[in-house]
Amino acid sequence: MAETYYEILGVSRDATDREIKHAYRILARQLHPDICREPGAEDRFKRINEAYRVLSDHEERGRYDAMGHDRYRRSQAGSRDFPGPHGPSEFRGFSDIFDLFFSERAWGSEKDFRPRSASDILVRIQITLEEALFGSEKVIEVPYASRCASCEGTGSTVRKVRPCPRCGGSGRERSAGSMGVVDPAPPPCRECGGKGRIPEAPCSLCAGWGATQVTRRVTVHIPPGIDSGMRIRKEGLGESRDHEIPDGDLYVEVLVLPHPRFTRHGDDLEIAVHISPARAALGSSTELETADGRGIRVEIPPGVQHETIIRVGGKGVKVRNRTGDLLVRIKIDTPEKTTAEERKLYQRLLKIEEGREEMQKKGLISRYVTKLRDAGR
């Protein structure tokens, strides 16, 4: 038999939500593809994500416990994780909460479009910085639950259901808490998985759950200026696994991949420029290519210091009617190797600096002697 989700996370069947989340985070940090390079780590990472997705959802966990691992796997809607163009796309656990959601028809709206029901789907994709800055279109394949055509979503071959005998149709476990106090939020019923009803004659195609797994190709418009953690909502493209629940929405959350030259800070873009000590002391100018491929000239003032930022207005991220700036960070590089001529020049410069320091010392001593003389008068 395959490992159960509890075994995959290394927790007991009666583990609390906190214990499940703690176990998942430990395993996710150990097995994330960006960290662990061991053979099979990516597959294990996907399995723990699938296990956590089910066990962290009370309704899904109740359904899983009621059906058992093998039956649940045959009838479930499938993992929300899907392979993107750059590898694994599931990042749940490292950033569980994102506060900003966007609809394709309301880009930039401040309204919080949080998934409103169990029929909503959340998928995560990776995009390049260029795609985030200028917009693009992505075609993704989304596994989701669709009403079973054989039983019309009822889960019953005779299209009839009856109240669950375990929960009496409430969909919740009827158990008392400590000291005889009834739990105000009991977990989903293990018999019906939270539905409150069970089919009279379970459908063989969907194992009585009323839904089967299908894959849909969806075109997603990536609006210009989108940033990591933002979500795009596709209305009505979620799951339709229950004949009594309206179809959900599809939420596409983006992760912007690191860029070799630019770093994003909100609406600003930062780029590093490396210069020599001579150019830093005397000042100079440098040619840069912006993110959209245009060339600009940046003036570096004399005496510029290491890590100084020069701001170039209007060359950053454009979002609707505003545009950020380009931040040019100055890096002063000391040469590791020098020619004979360069060493002579540096030695001469060093003597000048030492002479300046000596004069400063003499000036300090002279001022100190003068103060002593004035104090003795």
pLDDT tens per residue across span 267-282: 899 999 999 999 999 9
Could you give the number of structural domains in the chain? 3
Asked if residue 177 belongs to a domain, the reply is no
Label residue 181 by pLDDT band (50, 70, 90): very low
Same domain, 6 and 62: yes
The domain of 300 spans 262-332
Residue 344 or residue 374, greater confidence = 344
pLDDT score at 241:
59
Same domain, 271 and 321: yes
Same domain, 350 and 305: no
The domain that holds 276 is classified in CATH as 2.60.260.20
What residues contact 356, with CB distance under 8 A and at least 6 apart? none
Asked if residue 350 belongs to a domain, the reply is yes
pTM of the model: 0.54
Burial class (CB in 10 A: 0-12, 13-18, 19+), 132: buried
Q: For residues 346 and 277, is the Cβ–Cβ distance under 8 A?
A: no
Asked if residue 45 belongs to a domain, the reply is yes
The CB-side HSE value for 243 (13 A sphere, CA atoms) comes to 16
Q: Number of H helices and number of E strands within the chain?
A: 8, 16
Asked if residue 63 belongs to a domain, the reply is yes
pLDDT score at 109:
32
Same domain, 31 and 50: yes
Alpha-carbon torsion, ordered 3, 9, 12, 14, to 10 deg? -110
Stretch 134-152: mean pLDDT, rounded?
85
Asked if residue 112 belongs to a domain, the reply is no
**CA nearest 210: which of 160, 146, 162, 155?**
155
User: Dmax over Cα atoms in the chain, in whole Å?
Assistant: 116
Distance of CA 49 to the CA centre of its chain: 14
Asked if residue 243 belongs to a domain, the reply is no
Same domain, 285 and 320: yes
Asked if residue 141 belongs to a domain, the reply is no
Asked if residue 236 belongs to a domain, the reply is no
